[in-house]
Amino acid sequence: MQFELTKEYLEALSQAIAQENMDWIESNVFELHYADIAGVICELDRSEAIQLYQLLNEDVQGDILMELDEDLRESIIKSFSTKEIAEQLELLDSDDAADLISQFSPDQVEEIIAQISDSEAADDIVDLLNYDSDTAGGLMQKEFVQAKIDWPVNRCVVELRRQAENVEKIHTIYVVDDRDRLLGFLSLKSLLFASPSTKIKDLYNDKNVISVKTSADNEEVAKIMEKYDLVSVPVVDVQNKLVGRITIDDVVDVIMDEAEKDFQLASGISERIESNFSVWRITRARIPWLLIAMLGGTLGAQVIAKFEGGISQVPALAFFIPLITAMGGNVGVQSSAIVVQSLAKNSNPFGSILQKLGKEALVALVNGVLLSSLIYGVAHYFDSGTLGLVVSISLFAVIIFAAIFGTFIPLVLNHYKIDPALATGPFVTTLNDIVGLFIYFTVGTILYQI
């Protein structure tokens, strides 16, 4: 039932494009869901992609454009005149149209807007361009249906029929007063089953009406929709006037982007990148963390240099440097990952910091006792009694320290409104390395009486 992209299909398509075989393309491409056509276009060569896109029906061109990668989208757009772009924009939802158009230069934006024949659509797009793209205002669309509180059902159906022409999917009908202030909502279901003379007043739901302000942060919108299990959420301005709606599909994209960003931050990548970005862009996103790690390594080198005499006398001390740094790093990352996630989910907002630290310390104690005992035996294999004791004692101290540190850093970052996901990256690892080395060599120097 679903379309599956195969190498055979792609080869046949390339051939059809080269031979301008419209019959094949019509029956094998035009019939597909726009998301699948977008998937196909992504796999083609740049010139084939543009050629195929231009053959497509206007109805789906805009939707497909929205699904493509940024650079492919740009190449395709460049192959059209501003007039043609304006025509494609008119067929898009206002939020998508605003997203697309915002990628042009101010001059081009003006030119394209001027070419949009539907003045209402043009107004909507211009209005949406005012909002920051990371807010509810930037996420919302102007397509929604609303009913006045004093309408009867039959008037409502007539008005909705008019409004609904532009609204692809109606999830909820918003009920407003005569000044367009949001009062509640009405499901299509209740409208469908109500008698024609019933007043909206007596039908609508005014309890627990969830809405978001235009200035609300993207992530906040996602949290609210997730918490209240919403399919769409109305957006209101400071006067509680209904100005737009956000649908769940756009929020799913926000959630996925956010998860991706956190995952990359925790992996030491500072900008959102995709595997098809240029070598230079990928390098730029990655080098900041590597520089921090290198700075950390240099500071570590300085710590060890302080104990150079000790290493000359007992070279075996050097054996366990990687073990100490690796364990400190891993324990720290584990601890901070848990804190970062509990912060992201806002779970247990009143659980005190001391409580969190206490629990982490307890977990670290259990891990520390288990692992230190184990390493004592292992170190014996390398050297006489003293080395085992040095590694074992310092590993214990490093585990406790790294756990407390890994818990503390994200809490501090969060307090100062810095994304705590930063902490699970090389940040915690690097700092734990330095302190771990200091603990290890201090214990070593004392026990070996160097």
Residues 337-366 that bind a second copy (CB under 8 A): 337-342, 347-351, 356, 359, 362-363, 366
- Name every residue whose Cβ is closer than 8 Å to that of residue 190 and which is 6 or more positions away in sequence: 203
Nearer to a second copy, 50 or 160 (CB): 160
Q: Which residues contact 27 (CB under 8 A, 6 or more apart)?
A: none
Counting contacts by CB under 8 A, is residue 318 touching a second copy?
yes
In whole angstroms, the minimum distance from the beta carbon of 85 to a second copy comes to 22
Binding mask 40-79 for a second copy (x = CB under 8 A): --xx------------------------------------
Neighbours of 45 (CB within 10 A): 10
Which residue stretch of 15-23, 108-116, 163-171, 410-418 sits at the interface with a second copy (rule: CB under 8 A)? 163-171
- Residue 147: CB minimum distance to a second copy, A: 13
| Start-end of H helices in 345-425 | 353-382, 385-415
Neighbour-count burial for 150-189, b at 16+ CB within 10 Å, e otherwise: ebbbebbbeebeebbebbeebbbbbbbeeebebbbbbeee
Binding flag, residue 330, a second copy (CB under 8 A): yes
Whichever of 7 and 78 has its CB closer to a second copy, that residue is: 7
Nearer to a second copy, 39 or 152 (CB): 39
Q: What share of the chain is helix, strand, coil (3-state, %, to 5)?
A: 65, 10, 25
Phi then psi for residue 17, to 5 deg, are: -65, -45
Does residue 374 interact with a second copy by CB under 8 A?
yes
Q: What DSSP state is assigned to residue 118?
A: -
Counting DSSP H helices and E strands in the chain, the numbers are 21, 6
- Rounded to 5 degrees, φ, ψ at 9 are -60, -45
Q: Of the ranges 15-23, 105-113, 135-143, 319-327, which one interacts with a second copy (CB under 8 A)? A: 319-327
Among 46, 83, 161, 415, binds a second copy (CB under 8 A): 161
Select 112 or 439, whichever has its Cβ closest to a second copy.
Answer: 439
CB of residue 245 to a second copy, shortest distance in Å: 13
Report the nearest approach of a second copy to the CB of residue 428 (Å): 10
The alpha carbon of residue 269 and the mean position of all alpha carbons in its chain are separated, in whole angstroms, by 14
HSE at residue 343, side-chain half, CA atoms within 13 A, is 26
Min separation Cβ 111 and a second copy, Å: 30
Considering the complex, state which of residue 114 and residue 291 has its C-beta at the smaller distance from a second copy. 291
Q: How far is Cα 286 from Cα 139, in angstroms, rounded to an integer?
A: 29
- Select the residue interacting with a second copy from 102, 312, 373, 384 (CB under 8 A): 312
Sheet with 182-186, strands from edge to edge, namely 145-148, 173-176, 182-186
Q: How far is the CB of 117 from a second copy (least distance, A)?
A: 25
Position among 154, 206, 249, 418 found at the interface with a second copy (CB under 8 A): 249
* Contact residue for a second copy among 73, 181, 199, 286 (CB under 8 A): 286
For position 412 contacting a second copy by CB under 8 A, the verdict is no
- Among positions 419-438, residues that touch a second copy (CB under 8 A) are 424, 426, 429-430, 433, 437
Q: Could you tell me which stretch among 14-22, 129-137, 164-172, 409-417 binds a second copy (CB under 8 A)?
A: 164-172
For residue 310, the tally of other CB atoms under 10 A from its CB is 18
Region of 15-23, 46-54, 278-286, 409-417 interacting with a second copy (CB under 8 A): 278-286
Residue 416 binds a second copy (CB under 8 A): no
If one asks whether residue 259 binds a second copy (CB under 8 A), the answer comes out as: yes
Of these, 114, 274, 373, 418, which contacts a second copy (CB under 8 A)? Answer: 274
Distances (CA, A) of 336 to 131, 327, 396: 34, 14, 18
Give the helix/strand (H/E) hosting 146: strand 145-148
Q: How far is CA 271 from CA 71, 281, 289, 296, 409, in A?
A: 17, 9, 11, 21, 21
Q: Cβ closer to a second copy: 19 or 228?
A: 228
Interacting residues with a second copy between 219 and 248 (CB under 8 A) = 224-231, 240, 247-248
65, 80 contact by CB (below 8 A): no
Question: What minimum distance in Å lies between the beta carbon of 442 and a second copy?
Answer: 16
What gap in Å lies between CA 147 and CA 277, rounded to an integer?
46
**How far, in Å, CA of 7 to CA of 297, rounded?**
47
The residue from 29, 72, 327, 393 that contacts a second copy (CB under 8 A) is 327
Nearest to 246 by CA among 169, 194, 180, 351: 169
Least distance (Å) between residue 448 CB and a second copy: 14
Of 176 and 375, which has the nearer Cβ to a second copy?
375
